[in-house]
Amino acid sequence: MNYQTWLNEAVLSLSAADLQDSPKRDAQLILQCVTQQSFANIFAFGETALSEKQLAELTVLLARRLTGEPMAYILGEKEFWSLPLLVSPDTLIPRPDTEILVESALKIGQDCLQNQSTLRILDLGTGTGAIALALASELKPLAEKCGSILEIIGVDRIAQAVSLAQRNAERNQLTFVDFLQSDWFSRLPSDTKFDMIVSNPPYIEAGDIHLVQGDVRFEPLSALVAEEQGYADLRFIIENAPHFLKDEGWLLLEHGWQQGEKVRSIFVENNWQRIATIKDYGGNERVTLAQYAV
């Protein structure tokens, strides 16, 4: 079987599975992954014969996709903020909505770098390291220009996630970002203070119908589900972040599109100031931020 014949048959199979993505694009990516050829080469040399080993690998990967497994896990990679990131079933797949959190944090970070000598940022539940590394890629040039020191730490309670984030830092030449294993703040020294804390914590309620639909079916529940109708981890972070923030430091949290009002009320209950919610690209409330003043 050659490249073009395999592509044609794979597209037919994926189309019949009705996975709501592009069957043609998925088939192309799988073929590129196995053959290590660019799409241009595959298109130009469609008559190239596939080896038995390649056909076996293609059969396995296509079967995984036909079950609905996300392409990011099949390929082992997902781009976020123009950074190629390794992904695994130990972590969430980075999503475009989280770029809203990065954009909001960048505005604060840029202001800090222009007005102080050091900027320290903590990323809670870092997963692939997507948020921490996106911030690092944008803020490091400005820090160097301003003569300021930039320190970014990402923590995750899953050892495999920490290892993956470290590999992503190396892959993107952002090795000054530190990653360590910690259940939220538990392994941070009590005297550690940050200018900004960011997090995309679990915020889905157990039993939510979306947990058995689409890509989410394959992602780790521990990174998705929280007690108290999805608010437990959001509340925990809001209540404990002040112990790890400098005076007038900021906390930015991603949350569900219907959770903005409740999250703002939790901030109010805990005496935070300048509370605001940012909408995502679909016009839904997605990120709430606030400042804590002693």
Extract the annotated binding site: 125-129, 156, 184, 200-203
Beta strands 225-226 and 204-205, pairing class: parallel
Contact 243, 268 (CB under 8 A): no
- Residue 242 burial (C-beta neighbours within 10 Å; 0-12, 13-18, 19+): middle
Place of tokens 């996300």: 70
Place of tokens 């770029």: 99
Beta strands 149-156 and 118-124, pairing class: parallel
- C-alpha span between 228 and 225 (Å, rounded): 10
> Contacts for 76-79 with beta carbons within 8 Å, 24 or more apart?
78/128
Which residues line the annotated binding site for S-adenosyl-L-methionine?
125-129, 156, 184, 200
Which residues line the annotated binding site for substrate?
200-203
CA atoms within 13 A on the CB side of 42: 22
Residues belonging to the chain: 294
